[in-house]
Every structure is written in structure tokens, then in C-alpha cells.
Structure 1
Amino acid sequence: MTVKAIQRLQEVFAFEEIHHDIPPQKKPPRFMLDLYNQVADSDGITKAPGLLQGNVVRSFESKVNVDPEHPYFFNISSVGTNEKVLKAELRIFKWKPLAMVAKHHFCRVDVYELLDSASTPWRGNLIASRLLPLHFQGWEMFNVTLTVSKWVGESNMNHGFLVTYILPSGKYMETEVLGQKKHQSVIRRSYLVLHSDDGRGGVTKSETFHYNIKDQDAPLLKSETQSIMPPEPNRVTNGANQLKIRHVREVVEDTDPPCKRKPMYVDFEEIGWDAWIISPKGYNAYFCKGTCSFPLGQDMGATNHASVQSIVHILKLNKDVSKPCCVPNKLTSINLLYFNEEENVVLKQYNDMVAVSCGCL
């Protein structure tokens, strides 16, 4: 049963595969940590709704060193064919130039989609080109959305990218000062970053609040509290309509506390997922507990339907009608940052994961 429950939890979080062998020295790229911190608080709860494009962000690390005979290649097989790619960026770190090119101020960067796997002579489609200041050091991003969208549907077309750097003189720059080559004892790898929508929509309200909770009614006790049924017509011989009012003197005394939100912490370490989930290490999902007894107060978050159901139940107008249930009436999303089975970093946003408040429905 425990294994089955963990498997079901894996399905809820839409993990491609559960794994436990991420090397301890493996670190997530800084820009993915920054993105997570912009979107979520320390518990993973979304603090900036709408910031992400879609609900999944994947960062793919380039698999080979970059030089004229080895393109930038990214294995994107983990992206489902049913996913909609909303944005794809090629991220390359550019170092400051060496002395031999310091007299130049700009270079032209061309990004090609390679059309086959042959190293030389290579064939490619030019998909991005622009001038870059040589003396700037930092990450450069190139939009490659259309090309990557095509690769998701046809993986055999993915032969990678080739990036060239050309000085105003027409001379190609040496690759040792660019990309992921070791420079000043630091290695900067290149990344392909995909923003996508995997089709996991938010749970509808009817789905969220459909619970099969066994009714646990307390006994009804007589008291002087008066409840009045809606009037029912009563015909008399003269044809005039009169109203007949039936008085019901009943009240409910429940020993259970009223409907409230209670803590429910999900600890990823206890589940055994802490080795590859980067952040958060757990989160408080909360749950709703308590009774929804007549009369429903304003502080119980009751809907009009719940109020009517409570009245029908207390008057025993229909033996099949139970009293309303204590359930979440407002939910919010969380975000998880984790390593997938290929040791790439993924940021996923999950709707309706934390109960913000509870009510009687």
C-alpha cells in the first residue's frame, strides 16, 4: 500500500521518473535558482502568479565542448510530444576578449540549426544573428523557439546548434574565449532553456470539492430554538389560499469543533525524494477538519447551497441529505525545483496544492 501511495504521489507531481543517484557535487545553474526565487517563497508557494510562461521550465545542459567541429547539442527527449513549447532560449556565456582581439569593439554572432550530424563540412540554417559588444562579459540569450518546437515533434531532426563569432575584419574568433571552454579556472556551460505548457490545467471547482465523506451526525436534541419551514399551500373550501406554518423545535449539539484549516506538512525527505528535489524540502499543504453544523455562521465560509443543505438536513426533509462537508474553498499553487533523470534542472508549477482557507460546502 505504501509503494502504491508513493506511486500515486509521483503521478500527482507528474515526475518523469523517480531516481536517487544525483551526484552530491551536482549544482543547479544560478539562473534557475534565481527564477525559482522570483516565482516562489521559501516554502515553494507561488508569490508571483503569471511570471512563468506555461507551467514547466527546463534547463538542458550542453553535452559536448564547443569548437568548430562540435556543435551545441541538447538532449530534449524528456519533453513530451503533447507539450506546447512557448519559449526556447539558447544561453551562452561570453567572456571578455583576449589581448589579440582587444582592438575590436564588436563581433557578429550567428546561430545555425545544423541539418545533419556530419562534423565537416557542416550544413545549417541561420536562425539568429546580431552584434555583441566584445568587452561585455556575461550570459547571452538567443531565441530558438521555432527550431526547438520542431525538434520536440521530430527528435531525429535535432542535430544541435552551431554558433560562430566573426570580427569586423571577417576573421572568426577563437572559441577559447567563448562559450563553455575553461577560462580563468572557471567553466561556464551552455544551456537550452524551455518554457512549456504540459497540459496540466487547474482542477475545476467541481472536481476540487467532490468528496465522498461519511456523514457523522450527532443526535438531535429538543430545545426552545425555533426553526420555520417554508410555507406550503393549503386549499380550503372557499377557494382562498392560506399559509400553513409548521414549527420545528430542534437544535444540534456537536462535540466536534467547527470547520477549520489544520497543518499538513509534506516532507520530501521522509518520502525519499530529498536527494533530487532542490527546493523546497517540503511544504505545508494544510487540510480542512471540523463539523458543519446548523446554523452555519458567516465565519464558516458556507455557500448558499450549503446553508440550504444544512436546513434540509436538520429538518429531515430528505433522509439521503447529509450535512455540508468541511473542505478547502480556496487553493493556491506551489513550485518545485528538481533534477530530472538526465540531471537537468526542471522548475514546475502545480495548481491547487495548498489549502488557503476552508468552508462548508
Structure 2
Amino acid sequence: MKATGHCISIHILTLIVFLKCLTVSAGEGLDRRSAEAQSPAGEQRLQFMLSLYRRCADRTGRPRQPRRLGSNTVRLVRPSSSPPVSTPAADPWHTHSVDYELKILPKEKLLKVAFVHLRAPSLRHQPISCDIAVTSRGPAGETSWGGRVVFRAEEQWTEMDITPHVLERTADRLSLAIQYRCVQESPQSSRRRRTRELSSERAQLREPALLLYLDDKGKTDWQNLHGPEPVSPPHSRKARQVGSIGSDIPNYLQKNSVVRNQCKLHPYRVTFRDLGWEHWIIAPYKYNPHYCKGDCPRILHYGYNSPNHAIVQNFINELANNDVPPPACVPYKYKPISVLMMEKNGSIVYKEYEDMIAESCTCR
């Protein structure tokens, strides 16, 4: 019963972690996700975030190593825009007027901002390059900047870093006028390439999404934080025993401690459909948090990584007062998982949650 109780407690804590961080209604999530995928641009934005997720996480949701994003959260903000400005068919400039809601939560730090330029299927199989002119409208007046993006033949999207133009913003909304002028590149020979200017009707670059790279812990150097564990020197195991009270108790380590139902790690696979969260959690489909279950032995050797308190508590339960419970079988180390989800306002978020998969067990 005790082990079962601990198992239930672990699952409850796991659910609480998600519920605190992801407080949205499943019904609302269903409406948001279906609405986002109804439009071609919405489907394209969703596919972009799925592509980002697959680059950063494996099929089980575990972040790939090394982590290359430099942040633990990426939020794709869809634009709210007016219809494209009508221009003559021969005009090479194609204009979008867009607004973005810069949703930054209190604990999040904005590290990088990028446009995700999307192109419509009309020239999907042709390489094109586009000059971009952007005008930002705000309380301090207008500012302008420009750039250039290139689409290879099969590319549906491309990123453009605009951090210097956005990072020092003061408002919660970003209003922009974005102009594209694109040319189609046609290889003629190995020595030269010919370009052909495209009219705004043919270019049809969609209004870009905004990509916010955020960190909610103030730590971005994933290489140092999550690199391989250092190899222990030969004397480290002996040093750990010397630091344990068990090594000073007469004959402690020599006594027999036979446990049939030994404390250990067990798998437990659950789908987010089982939890009623499939309408707003896009990926992963399955999650294996693992759990720890079993009896803790009377002799807690170094393999359990148990604190001195657990060793003493074992003896108190056995020799002094059995109302004091013996140590419990609980997780010792954890691994993170990556989640792709839909927010209430329609933004799609990639987020890495720490301490979500139990990796080993201990008695404490």
C-alpha cells in the first residue's frame, strides 16, 4: 500500500506541474487548434512549428542533444492583418500591414525575435529571392529597415532575425508595414544565373509570423547545463562511503538485506488523450514519465544515493518507534521533455519542461 501511495503521489505531482504551467481549457483548445488549421497560412504555420519540434525533440519528446535553440521556449505569434494593399499587377512590391501581440510572461526573458516568411504554393518549386522593406509604427514615430531572404526550390518558409529592431520595444503590440519585391532565379549555365522580377500577384508571400525565443530560467547555455556527466575518479565511490553514516555503524554494510519487491524504476506510458489534453497539446502524442515503486531495503548501500537521514530513519523505524515510517521509494534523477502546444490566443509554443521523466530511484 505504501509503495502504491507513493506511485499515486508521483503522478499527481507530475500532473500539477503541467496544470500550473499550461492552464487552458481543453474545449477552448479544440476550437483554437481547428481554427488555426482551417486557413492555408494557419496550416503552414503549424507545419513550421512541427518541423521545429522534430528538429529539437525525438519521437518520445526528449530534447535532442546538444540543444541548439539557446532557449527553452519558442512562441510563434500569428499576425492579425488587414487585407494586402492593392497594387497594379505590374508593381513588383507586395505589401502587408500586420500587428503582433508580444505576449511575454513575467518569468520569461526575450532573447531573440525572427520573422518566419511564408510563401504560397504558386511558386513552390522555383527558387526565389526577395528584398524586404519594413516600416515600424509606434509612439516614438516610424522606423524603417530592410533585408533579403532566399527560398530554395522546395522551401516553404525561411527565418529572418530582426532582434535589433524589436528587442528594445516598449509596447505590447508591434505594428508593421512589410513590403516584398521578389525575383525568380533560373539557372542558365554553370557560369551565370538569370533572374526574372515577379509581380506582386505572382510572388504571393504571405504575411510573416513572428518567432519569439524566450527563456524562463535565465539559463541559455545548454551545452554546459546538460552536457555528459563527468566520469567519476576511481576514489569517488570510497569517498562517498566515508561520508555516509552507514560506513561508521558497526557491521552495517556486512549485514544481509534481502528485498523481494526492490525499489526500482517502472515504465508507465500515457497518451495526452487519456488526460483530456490532446486538443491543445500537439506533440508528443505519448509520454512515459516512469515511476518508482518497491520496498526500500534495511541496508541502504551507495547505489541508492540515499541521504544519511534515510539511513537513520530506517533504524528508528526498526529499533525505536515503528510509528515513524521507513524511507520511501521515490525518483532521484529526472530528464526533461519537449511539448508543442496551442495557446488561448492562437500562438503555437514549443517549450522544454524540466524534471518530467524519472530516470532513477532512491530511498529517502
Q: 2:114 aligns with which of 72, 86, 89?
A: 89
Q: In the alignment, is residue 114 of structure 1 matched against residue 124 of structure 2?
A: no
Contact 1:96 1:134 (8 Å CA) reproduced: no
Structure 2: gaps spanning 5 or more residues: 1-11, 38-42, 86-93, 184-196, 220-245
- The match for 2:60 is 43
Structure 1 SS opposite 2:19: helix
Contact 1:96 1:135 (8 Å CA) reproduced: no
Identity of aligned residues (%): 24
Bigger RCO (CA 8 Å, 6+ sep): 2
- The match for 1:175 is 200
Deviation at 1:350, TM superposition (A): 0.2
Aligned length: 293
Deviation at 1:321, TM superposition (A): 6.6
- The match for 2:22 is 14
Q: In the alignment, is residue 258 of structure 1 matched against residue 262 of structure 2?
A: yes
Question: Which structure has the greater CA radius of gyration?
Answer: 1
Q: State how 1:233-248 maps to structure 2 within 5 Å.
A: none
Deviation at 1:336, TM superposition (A): 1.0
Deviation at 1:179, TM superposition (A): 5.0
Structure 1 SS opposite 2:64: coil
Cα RMSD for the two superposed structures: 4.4
1:329-349 alpha-carbon deviations (Å, 9 max, x no partner): 210001111221122321111
Q: In the alignment, is residue 295 of structure 1 matched against residue 309 of structure 2?
A: no
Name whichever structure is richer in helix by fraction.
2
Q: Which amino acid aligns with 1:60?
A: V
TM-score (norm 1): 0.64
1:84-125 alpha-carbon deviations (Å, 9 max, x no partner): 111111121357999xxx9xx9764223322379xxxxx631
Inter-partner Cα distance in structure 2 for 1:12 and 1:343: 19
Q: State how 1:275-314 maps to structure 2 within 5 Å.
A: 275-297=279-301, 300-303=303-306, 305=308, 308-309=311-312, 312-313=315-316
Structure 1 SS opposite 2:32: coil
Q: In the alignment, is residue 341 of structure 1 matched against residue 349 of structure 2?
A: no
Q: 2:78 aligns with which of 45, 56, 61?
A: 61
Inter-partner Cα distance in structure 1 for 2:158 and 2:362: 49
Change in 2 beyond 3 A, CA 1:289/1:81: closer
Deviation at 1:79, TM superposition (A): 2.7
- The range that moved more, 7-16 or 36-45, is 7-16
Inter-partner Cα distance in structure 2 for 1:340 and 1:199: 20
- The match for 1:215 is none
1:48-83 alpha-carbon deviations (Å, 9 max, x no partner): 35223322111122232443664132233x332542
Q: Which amino acid aligns with 2:208?
A: S
Inter-partner Cα distance in structure 2 for 1:17 and 1:29: 20
Q: In the alignment, is residue 326 of structure 1 matched against residue 329 of structure 2?
A: yes
Q: 1:267 aligns with which of 261, 264, 271?
A: 271
Inter-partner Cα distance in structure 2 for 1:265 and 1:135: 41
